[in-house]
Structure formats: structure tokens, C-alpha cells
Amino acid sequence: MKKISFCLILVIMFIAGCSQDKKKNPLLLEFDTPFGAPPFELIEDKHFLPAFKEAMNLHKEEIDAIVNNQESPDFENTIVAFDNAGEKLTRISRIFGGLRSAETTPQLQEIARDVTPMLSEHSNSIRFNMDLFERIEHVYNERENFDLDKEQMILVEKIYGDFERNGVALPEDKRERLKEINERMSMVSLELRDNLLAENNNFKLFLEDEDEIAGLPNHVLSAAAEQAENEGKEGKWLITLDNPSRIPFLQYSDRRDLREKVLLAYVNRGDNGNEYDNKELFIELLQLRQEMSQMLGFNNYAEYFTDIQMAENPQNVYDFLDEVWEPSLNRANKELTQMQEIIDREGKDFDLKAWDWWYYAEILRKEKYDLDEDEIKPYFTIDNVREGNFILANKLYGLTFKERPEVPVYHEEVEAYEVFDNDGSHLGILYIDPHPRPGKRSGAWCGAYRMGHYKDGERIAPIVYIVMNFTRPSGDNPAMLSWDETTTYFHEFGHALHNFFAEGRYNRTSRSVPRDFVELPSQMLENYAGHPDLLKEYAVHYKTGEVIPDELIEKIRNSEHFNQGFIQTEYFAAAYLDMDWHTADITSDTDVNEFENNSMQRIGLIDEIIPRYRTTNFQHIFGPGYAAGYYVYRWAGVLDADAFQAFKETGDIFDQEMAERFRNYIMAKNSIYEGMDAYVKFRGNEPDIEPFLKRSGLK
């Protein structure tokens, strides 16, 4: 009797302890923070795994409740219930994913390796739940008999289509194999990204004497000295593979051998035959994608991806690439000739190589346009550029922004702003994370800790973040951005606006657009960054307070087509490489470098230009988001160039009526208009490619 009582006490204590753990886990509690922002100061790495497990259990219970509902399937008890299910899991996943990209730790990486197969298995248990699908299919088949509005009809069709694309209709043995494929693809994608982060962080070039720093401007040296000091190497200069370090070094360093070393270190990431080599993993991923696509009735993954995009099929993508490739390459060859002439004029006995391009392009810019990027940087401090984005959002849409230091952040460099709509109402929260860190992946991106949606008829405002890897402040100088960094800031801010404006009532339709449309709102803002009417508003010299002079604006605009041959060619080369991988028949014997070389030889890429991303560091295509879809940036470029032309045709690039149309059809009503349908609603006709070709210097 005593033993039984003692055991019972232990069980009760265990259950109580588990209950207390759940109560203490901030990820499982309602966020008692301003605007419901994640309580980053309370969240510890150890909280994620138990939170994921609990959230998956809750999600399973919600799915079971739908399946076991004795009432006949209808829109509310099946479609809406499914759309609302998994709210807590989604919230935790978004926080974890955001931190994994911007502020990862070895502990988070280990948790990701543990939780990824769990999430895949959990996802498979839902996407292949036949009882659940039968209810969804019933609503889909009877959808015309329900009193549904347009968005509700689209929601039914999208959810049903998701299940179909995921293979729910396959025979049981194939469904089981597809589960295995999904789980393995998730792990391989994770490993590819972790390897790339390690390769980025492991390269460190310390410069020690005057000869090694020849040609580097003071602001580059100052930043490099600070980086070296942070590594305990005071008196030296550190060059890394982060853009703010690597690119200025390639632009200005007189040491050709060191430029070669830095560039090759960058382009060979993941291809060094070490523990972080990505070649075998990438081949495995491509084979899995190929097998999955063929099981689902497609010849290859490119067909599977483009089937729901504006492009519709791979051939249309290739046709687009072919149309712009030749003029891009022709322009690049002209630029190559001009730079080789400089080398010959200097009496140097070598042919220009890839590691020379940035260096001689900078010399050519000064000679041809009398424009030194260091001359314009003082006008483009990071604060000025942020304000430029805020000013633009106000001029176009009437938005205002207020910094909110009380909102929790995950790193001291992150800023949080409340965003107000044109009527003064709360629109959302914006996090801005500007600078590189060892725990942050390369590049720039926008995401959301909470997507905008409606719950019980009430709008739930989005919590959005933009993350960059921009030049840091150095010494007494503020962070001064390059022109590329400036336009990137506008680009990511455009994605943020898209998130703020989306009006869909349901999670699945809130911001649902084809991948080759989603870059339109972001790239649209790039058109404004260098326009004189906006430059005069935000480009102010940080020392003198002088507004950027007309003479300098003229130089910037005269140089708009500078180096466009290189820029377009390296991009399109990567887009071809992506499509070639995802249309080819890949086997375990496929040699990554041989395939890549053959792909580039087929299109005639010159040796002096390397694709923007090589296979082993092509982060965009490691996950499903842009795989077979890297073309989308220039595809959307045709849209944004034509859309900006619409504003120019009004005589006012800030035209309020045109801005309202853009907000309404392109960003807000994605739940009922998307792709070309949305664009034609905005513009009145399909886009003309001419503005894109002219803007890109290809015509």
C-alpha cells in the first residue's frame, strides 16, 4: 500500500513538474509584450525543443478534432478550422526560423538538427491524412453549393490544391516513399545551409604590413582594423567574406594576388573537399527533388515549380532568359574590352581575370563618369537611407513610423518601429537588423514573426523584420552604405510593405502570390532610390548637412548603366545554372563541377565572369523557395520597370491615385487577385519589356 501511494505521489509530482515547465516556457504562453512581439529577453535556446513538441501535439489535437467532427464537412468546420489549426506551432517556427537565420548559435543549430525530422514527420502526418483530405475534398467538390465569396472560394481551391501537390492522391506505397523524401530533403537543406555558414565564418584574411593594404581607402582600413581588433589581432586588418568587407577589398586593393585569394575563397565555398563540402549533399537533394516531381506526374522539378508560377513552364523561363542573355553578354564583353585597355595602357602584362573585374570597374567608373563611390557614400548613411524609405512610404501611402525601444529585440543592434497607416491606425511592427555577425547568414531578406491575418473578425497586425549585412560604423564615422546596399535596403523595405498591406482574411490567402510575382513590390521601390525627387529628401551629407548636389545626382544618373553587363550576366548565368540543374536527369555519378562548367559553356559565359552563385553556395536553391526559381528577380523586373513607367506617365512619381492602385491590386488583395490578373488590374494591360531593357542598359 505504501509502495503504491509513493508511486502515485511520484506520478503526480512528475505531471505537476511538466505542467510547471510548460507554464515557464515563454514560447508556450501568451506574449505579454508590447504589440504581442516575441519576448526575446525571456526566450532561451532550451525552450525551443519542448515548445515544438507541445505545439505539435496541440496541432495534432486540432487536426483530430476536424477529422472526428460528426457534422457534414463544410467551409467553417473543415476549411476554416484547418486554416486556423497549428497557430502556436507556426508562431514558434517563425521565431525559431528568424533566429536561426539572423542570430544562430551552436545550440540552435543542434536543436534544428533534432527538430527538423520531427517537423517533417509531423507535416507528413497531416498532408497524408486521408480522413482529413476526404473532408477537404468533399468541401471542394461541393464548393459551388456553399454560399462562398471569392476569397473563400479561392481558399478552398488553394487548400485542396496544396494537398494534391503534396501527393495525397498517390497510392499508399508511394505516399510512404514521399514521406521519406520530404523528411530527407528537409535535413539536406539544413546541412547545406549550415555548411555554407561555416565556410563563410572560417575564412579570415589578416593583413599585416603596408604593402598588403595598398590602395585601400581609409574607411575600408578603419573597418578592417576594428574587425581585427575584435578578433584579438590589434594592429592588423581583417578581411572576411561578408559583402561589406569583401566587395570594397576587391574594388580597391592593389594586391592582385590577394584579390584572387579573396574572390576564390568566396566562389569556392562548399567546394573545398573538407567537412563542409556541399557537392554530395547537393546531388542528393537534386535526386530527391527529381524523384518527388516524377512521382507527382512531372518530368522534373522545374516543371513542378513553374506549374503554379506566372511562367507556367520551364520553356517560358528559358525563352525569357534567352531573350536577355545575348544583349547582357554583349554589354559585358564591351566592358571587358574597356577594362583591358586600362590594363594595357598601364603597361601591365596580363589579361583581366575574374578577381580583377571589380578593381578595374572602379577605375573605369572614375574615368568614364567622374564618379567615385567614396564621394557619394557620405550622403547615404544607414540612418539617411532608412529615413529615405520612411519618406517614400509616407509620400506614396501616407505611412508614418515611430521607434519603439520598449519592444523586445533579439540583438542590441536591432531597431523596432511601430508602423501607422494613413488614417493613424496601427498597421504593424517593423524590426530592422542592419549589420553582419558570425551568427547571421549572408545576404538580405524579409520575413515575419507574425503574418497579418484576421481572427474572430479582428485584424491581427503583422510583425515584420528586414535583415541585412550592411557596412558597419567605423571609428567616428557612421555606417555609410554603397549604392548596392542602398538599393538593397529599398528592396527589402518593399517586401515589408507587402507584408503590412496584405488584407487576406485567412492565413492561406493573406499574402498568396506566385514566386515570380513576389519580387515586384520590393523591386518597385528600387526605382525610387536614385530618383532626384526622392534623393533630395533623404541624401544629406552626414558632416555638413548639405543636401546632395545636382552635380552629384547627375553623375549618379549618368552612371546608371555602368557595369550592367557584368551585373546582368552574372545574374542570368546563375539563373540558367539553376534551371539546368532542375531540368536535367541527375544521377549519383553526376559531377557537380563538370555539370556546372558544361552549363556555363553552353550559354557562352566568358571566363572573366563567374555566376553570381556557384552550385555549392547557391543558398537560394538549397531550400524550396527559389529552387528552379532564381529567374524570378528579373522576371519581376519586367513588371516593376513597367509599373514605374506607369507612375512616370502621370507626371508625378508619387502620384497618390496610382499608389493606391498599386497598393490595392499588387499588395493588398492577393487573396483575390494574383499574378498577371493582379498586374492587369493595376496597369490596365500586360507589361511591356521595353522599360526593363532600357533601364538595364540592354537596349
Catalytically active residues, by annotation: 492
Cα-based torsion angle of the residue sequence 320, 326, 327, 329 in order, rounded to the nearest 10 degrees: 120
Between helix 564-583 and helix 279-295 the angle, nearest 10°, is: 60
DSSP state of 546: P
The DSSP bridge pattern shows strands 463-467 and 426-433 to be parallel
CA angle 475, 476, 480 (to 5 degrees): 85
For the chain, helix, strand, coil in percent to 5 are: 60, 5, 30
Long-range CB contacts for residues 109-118, cutoff 8 Å, separation at least 24 = 109/194, 111/45, 111/48, 111/49, 112/190, 112/194, 113/187, 113/190, 114/49, 115/48, 115/49, 115/52, 116/186, 116/187, 116/190, 117/183, 117/186, 117/187, 118/52, 118/53, 118/56
The DSSP bridge pattern shows strands 445-450 and 463-467 to be antiparallel
Cell of 650: 502621370
- Between CA 408 and CA 406 the distance in angstroms is 6
Between helix 48-67 and helix 87-102 the angle, nearest 10°, is: 150
Q: Are 226 and 474 in contact (CB under 8 A)?
A: yes
Note the Cα 432 to chain centre separation in Å.
14
Nearest Cα neighbor of 252 from 292, 282, 288, 212 is 212
Q: Please tell me whether residue 524 adopts helix, strand or coil conformation.
A: helix
Alpha-carbon distances, residue 41 vs 26, 410, 412 (angstroms) = 10, 7, 11
- Between CA 180 and CA 175 the distance in angstroms is 9
Nearest Cα neighbor of 127 from 201, 182, 200 is 182
Q: What are the residue ranges of helices labelled H in 203-277?
A: 218-230, 243-252, 256-267
- Between CA 573 and CA 578 the distance in angstroms is 9
Nearest Cα neighbor of 94 from 61, 51, 155 is 51
Nearest Cα neighbor of 517 from 299, 676, 653 is 676
